[in-house]
Amino acid sequence: MRWARAPSSPFSKPASSEGFAEHPKRRLVGLPGVERVRDLPADPITRLFFQHQGDHALYYGRYDAPSAQDEDRIRLESRTPYKWTYNVYTPVYDFCHRLREGSEQRKRFVIVPSTLETRGCAAVMLNHGLVAGFRDFHNDRAFAVELKYFQNEPTINVIEPCSYDGKTEFEWSPKMMRRLMNTHGIHNRLVVYICRSSDNRIIDHIDAVREQIGGRGLMMVH
C-alpha cells in the first residue's frame, strides 16, 4: 500500500521531510469542482467558489494547441467521424456569436476565446470603433471584450463568421477584396471584412486592398 505507515521503532527519530510522505495529499480547500472550464459559472464572483478539478484540470488544450498529455499515457489517433456533424464550431464562430448575443442582451463585457484570430478580429473592430475596448489579463485562453452602445443601441448591427464549421475554409483573392471594397460603384468602408493574411496578420479588407493581397476569410461585421 502506498500510504502505509512504516513500523516505527522507539529508537528512530521521525524525519521532518518524511512527514509529508506518510500522509495522503489533500486539497487545501474543498470547493465544489467541475470537470471542464466551460462548466464553471459565468458570474465572476460565483466562479471564485468553484474549482476546476479532474484529469482535465492540468491537461486540456486550446483551440489551436492540443492538450499536453503524459508521456506514458496511451494516445489514440484522432479519426474523422463517419457522418460529419456541423456543430464543431471554430473560435471565430464562438467569438461572433458571443458578441452578437451579448450586444442583444445589452451586456458590457463578453468573455471570448483567445486565439490569434479572435484577438486580431477584436483589434480590427476596435480600430473601426465597433467595440469600446478589450482587456487581456495575460490569459492565453480567454479575454474580455467591452461592447459599445450609442443611444442604448449596440454599434454592432450584423456580425457573422465566414465559416460555420471547423472544416470549411474560404480564401479571399485580392480581386475579391477589391470587389468587397468597391461594388457597383459603391465605395464600401462601412461593412468590415476581416481576413487572415499569409504572414498571419489579421487585417480588414481596406488594408488588404491597399497592400493588394488576399487571405483567409474570417468574419464580416458592421
Spell out the per-residue pLDDT of the chain, length 222, in tens. 555 555 555 555 555 555 545 555 555 556 777 767 777 788 878 877 777 666 555 555 444 444 554 445 455 555 565 665 555 688 999 999 999 999 999 999 999 999 999 999 999 999 999 999 998 877 788 999 999 999 999 999 999 999 988 778 899 999 999 999 988 888 888 999 999 999 999 999 999 999 999 999 999 999
CB-based contacts of 24, cutoff 8 Å, min separation 6: 3
pLDDT at 33: 72
- What's the rounded Cα separation, in Å, for the pair 130 and 207? 17
What residue segments make up the domains of the chain, in order of their start? Answer: 91-221
pLDDT at 46: 80
Phi, psi torsion values for 125, nearest 5 degrees: -65, -35
pLDDT at 154: 96
Neighbour-count burial for 107-120, b at 16+ CB within 10 Å, e otherwise: beebbbbbbebbbb
pLDDT at 63: 46
pTM: 0.62
Q: Counting beta carbons within 10 angstroms of the beta carbon of residue 217, is it exposed (0 to 12), middle (13 to 18) or buried (19 or more)? A: buried
- What Cα–Cα distance (Å) separates residue 179 from each residue in 54, 176, 214, 219, 220? 51, 5, 12, 16, 14
User: What's the N-to-C CA distance of the chain in angstroms?
Assistant: 64
pLDDT at 138: 74
pLDDT at 136: 82
pLDDT at 32: 74
pLDDT at 41: 83
Other beta carbons less than 10 A from residue 41's beta carbon: 13
| Architecture category of domain 91-221 in CATH | 2-Layer Sandwich (3.30)
User: Which runs of consecutive H residues, i.e. helices, occur in 60-187?
Assistant: 91-104, 116-127, 174-181
Do 116 and 201 meet the contact criterion of CB atoms below 8 Å apart? no
* H/E stretch holding 46: helix 44-47
pLDDT at 145: 96
Give residue 164's identity as a one-letter amino acid code: Y
Phi, psi torsion values for 152, nearest 5 degrees: 65, 20
